[in-house]
Amino acid sequence: MQAVSSDRVKEVRDSINNQTQRYYTNLVPDRDKAVSTELGGIIFNSQAMGLNTNASCAGSSCHMPSNNLGPIAKMQGGEGVLFMKDGFVECKFYPKNLGKDIMEINTPMSRGIVFKQLALSKGQARKEEQPSLMFGATVHQIDFDKLNQIDVMEYYVANAFKLSQAEEIHYTQALMDYQEQFEWDETKYVQWLDGKNNYKYIAETVTMLWDKGCMKCHGGAGGISDEFGNVVLNSTGNNPTDTTRVLTRSWFGGNTMPAMYWGGSYATDSRAGDEKHFSQEGITLTDAEMDAWIYFRNQCLNIK
Ligand code: HEC
């Protein structure tokens, strides 16, 4: 690849940093954020939140805290693998004899959600809407009344919001506070953006990716945006998203993810999958550029 001047590198690094925007949810401005965040973590990780028992954001292998709040199994929905009359929704271990009436998609990671405003594959919701009752038939629907009946919630709600009974908006706030803490600071890429390392191959590869236009969608320190791109399908043509345009998925995560793209259409870190995606967005990389991207992807975009 072409050597790049230090002025040019600085320019690219500054441009990416300038793209970085964080969108914090602030539905309840008057709160103790630290306590609210802790409350959010309890809800996120506990089975108390489900409309029925046995489901949680983290459980059922969907948004695992041990895996960048991402999935540990390939296809499990995230927009409701299963929606029953009584509202029961589970990710992976749903009863196999029950029909599914909502598409099954590859769960995205919640780490990095602070860099986005929209959620779900078609951007159907603002991110703070998806745990709420108004959002309806999704795996994200939470039983807020049930939460109010749990003693430990009362303690946290009193301390976070100075209330005896919380409403949906408070629990949603807590959940967003929890998820919005998790960024990608430990990756070499973000450390490079922060000036904490100065690897030459990172400078060269990032400049190349910038010039190719990747950061129009995978912009800023989150490597993500609310821009849309084309669904990436493999040769089976199977498209669970039922649309041709989807929200950008984070390019972080790499080999910790079980599969790539909303449809799980390619194996993790598949070169063929990358090439398909780039060509669909009108981007061509030479073999050497492709090698540089893949090296960068494997070295710099992962929290292992
Ligand atoms: C027009 C917007 C756009 C551009 C430009 C773009 N992407 Fe993407 N990217 C997307 C969308 C949308 C997806 C998700 C597609 C899907 O799920 O089917 C995606 C997914 C990815 C993924 C897979 C994420 C995962 O694990 O599922 C990687 C890696 C990626 N892009 C890297 C790149 C690189 C590198 C470039 C430049 C060479 C690039 N993208 C250019 C929008 C874009």
CB 213 within 8 A of CB 19: no
Which domain covers residue 220, as residue numbers?
6-21+184-300
Highest average pLDDT, of 144-153, 252-261, 278-287, comes from 278-287
Residue 271 covered by a domain:
yes
* Same-domain status, 118 and 44: yes
Residue 70, exposed/middle/buried by CB under 10 A (0-12, 13-18, 19+)? buried
Name the more confident of 72 and 96: 72
Nearest CA to ligand 1 atom 3: 217
185 vs 221: CA distance, rounded Å: 8
Residue 50: other Cβ atoms inside 10 A: 22
* Same-domain status, 49 and 171: yes
* CA–CA distances in Å: residue 255 to residues 115, 267, 269, 298, 301: 21, 9, 6, 8, 9
Instruction: Quote the ligand 1 centre to 246 CA distance (angstroms).
Output: 10
What is the domain-level CATH number for residue 233?
A: 1.10.760.10
- Look up the pTM and report it: 0.89
Residue 276 covered by a domain:
yes
Please say which residue of 142, 157, 179 terminates a domain: 179
Best mutation site among 68, 277, 287, 295 for ligand 1 pocket (most ligand atoms within 8 Å of CB):
277
**Mean pLDDT of all residues in the chain?**
83
CB 55 within 8 A of CB 61: no
Residue 95 covered by a domain:
yes
Please say which residue of 159, 179, 199 terminates a domain: 179
Please say which residue of 179, 214, 242 terminates a domain: 179
Residue 1 covered by a domain:
no
Query: How many folded domains does the chain comprise?
Result: 2
Residues having CB within 6 Å of any atom of ligand 1 = 209, 212-214, 216-218, 227, 229, 231-232, 246, 248-249, 251, 253, 257, 260-263, 277-278, 281, 283, 293
Q: What is the pLDDT of residues 1-53, one digit of tens each?
A: 668 899 999 999 999 999 999 999 999 999 999 999 999 888 887 765 554 44
Region 125-137: mean pLDDT is 65
Q: What is the pLDDT of residues 52-79, one digit of tens each?
A: 445 556 556 677 888 888 887 765 554 4
